[in-house]
Amino acid sequence: MSFEFRISCPSGSVASSIALEPLEDTADYEYLVMQGCRILSDVGCSFHIAGFGSGDWGFDVSYDMSTLIERVLSLVESLKLNGTGEVDFYSQGVERSITFDRVDGSYEIRCHSRTSWKPSPSVEYVDCASMEDMLDKLTFDFSMILERAASEISTVEPIRSWRRAHESP
């Protein structure tokens, strides 16, 4: 099982009373991500992440998924600039980190666990284009679902730009 992740959400309209709550701080990216994850959970989305010998890491949307979304901006930037990156999945019970190193058209991804769970294998390889597509789809889906739920978060940068990257000129 190669390292992978994706958001799944019911098709059609989505409604969330959380999406209508006024935002406390539109300049605080981590706060917006956490609120966005609460909204996605409220509308019935799920988050699948797997790899390193485990077909499902058992992530919930409202909290565990935010650990990846919080880091996605710096991860994408670091991967583009120097081919390396790191994500710390710090939520209790998960407690693992992954590092990325670009090697010959692929990312060498290493997993380090801080719990009794041990990755097997501890190193996997994912094609660079596939990893970049997964990250792009993750941010696009996150933004689109928030827009469908009529959340103000979908209008705030950088979340708004995650949709614009897919708009036709």
Q: Please state, as a whole number, how many other Cβ atoms lie within 10 Å of the Cβ of residue 103.
A: 11
pTM of the model: 0.92
d(C-alpha 101, C-alpha 83), whole Å: 6
Residue 30 backbone dihedrals phi, psi, to 5 degrees: -65, -40
147 pLDDT band (50/70/90 cuts)?
Answer: very high
Q: Residue 131 pLDDT more than 60?
A: yes
| Residue 162 near residue 145, CB atoms below 8 Å | no
Question: Stretch 130-151: mean pLDDT, rounded?
Answer: 94
1 pLDDT band (50/70/90 cuts)?
Answer: low
Question: Stretch 102-123: mean pLDDT, rounded?
Answer: 96
d(C-alpha 65, C-alpha 36), whole Å: 10
Strands 4-8 and 46-50: antiparallel
**Quick one: pLDDT at residue 4?**
96
Read off the pLDDT of residues 79-91 as tens digits, 9 standing for 90 and up.
Answer: 999 999 999 999 8
User: Residue 20: enclosing H or E segment and its boundaries?
Assistant: none
Read off the pLDDT of residues 51-90 as tens digits, 9 standing for 90 and up.
Answer: 999 999 999 999 999 999 999 999 999 999 999 999 999 9
16 pLDDT band (50/70/90 cuts)?
Answer: confident
